[in-house]
Chain A
Amino acid sequence: MEVPILKQGPYLIASIQSALSDADLVQLRDALVEQVGRLRSRGVIVDVTALDVMDSFATRTLRDITFMIRLRGAETVIVGIQPDVAFTMVQLGLKLEGVPTALDLEEGIAFLREKAAGPNKEANPRGR
């Protein structure tokens, strides 16, 4: 199942619609990396609102996406992690360390804008 990736100005938004198999996640990763390069995007938002389970593979892939896209000079933010899912993740020890997160699409875009504005502006210390 392919995840739709939309271009919104300098940003790419990938909205996950339903449960993704491991292969789907890898495909998403590759598609995002390719498009960021081709379209010279400055940021990527991955919306996981519809994911009812985030297991070790999903977590690792999201981290891979973040790091690979950073190598291309763009920032990634994961938005929409459900409360239940967040709770389960921390109990399993999946922390998404080094991966910025935000509550929803709106917050995600605000984060990317702040990031783009530079380190001089007082920004929220997220993604710690």
Chain B
Amino acid sequence: MDGERDPIDAPVQAEGSMSSGKDRVLEEVAVQIHSDTDIVAARQKGRLLAASLGFSSSELTLIATAISELARNIVLYAKQGEIVLRLCERGDRRGVMVRARDQGPGIPDIRRALQGGFSTSRSLGLGLPGVRRLMDEFEIESRVGYGTTVTARKWRR
């Protein structure tokens, strides 16, 4: 893809604004995603990290599954990317941040991607509405030809 800036390809920030500026980072680890085995590694690391904050067992499963879906999107569509896992603090709340970043083809229609759910014969869907349901905060930035970044956070109750 060449670097043409077509107005249609302008970045779409579909969900809220990046509020991470106010968050304090307690711990951070990045997992490179190249293949399906990395998906398992990323979600297991995520589970371990989130467990240190005292999330309940069902919340840990939610987080691990969200990571799995996001990491899989990277493998399917961008071939490679990274998952950044972060323990953060905002005010008196602590939580986990999952950021899936890739330099893949980007998502042409974010609005539509966020509308659909999983259909029983899903092959091209991204499952993003599902991830959004699982997490407390969800932000996505994507630009065709440049890549996609999905950031999701879950806070400890």
Contact = CB atoms under 8 A, between A and B. Distances in A.
Closest 7 CB pairs of A and B: A22-B36, A92-B130, A84-B61, A55-B68, A84-B58, A93-B118, A93-B117
B65 interface: yes
A19 B72 CA distance: 15
Contacts of A89: 65
A71 interface: no
Interface in A49-67: 52-57, 60, 63
A24 to B, nearest CB: 9
Contact of B61 (A22, A52, A95): A52
B24 to A, nearest CB: 28
A106 interface: no
B122 A53 contact: no
Which size class do B's interface residues fall under? Answer: 20 to 34
Contacts of A95: 120
B74 interface: no
Q: Which of A60, A92, A94, A97 has the most CB of B within 10 A?
A: A92
Interface string B17-47: 0000000000000000000110110011001
A66 to B, nearest CB: 12
B64 interface: yes
Given A87-B58, A92-B130, A93-B130, A21 B65 contact: no
B62 interface: yes
Nearest to B71: A55
A127 to B, nearest CB: 15
B52 interface: no
B133 interface: yes
Which size class do A's interface residues fall under? Answer: 20 to 34
A81 to B, nearest CB: 11
A31 B8 CA distance: 47
A91 B133 CA distance: 7
Contacts of A55: 65, 68-69, 72
A52 B47 contact: yes
B134 interface: yes
B64 A52 contact: yes
A21 B133 CA distance: 24
Given A21-B37, A88-B61, A92-B133, 8 more contacts: A53-B61, A53-B68, A56-B118, A87-B61, A88-B134, A91-B130, A94-B118, A94-B130
B81 interface: no
Contact of A97 (B39, B120, B131): B120
A68 interface: no
A4 B101 CA distance: 36
B134 A91 contact: yes
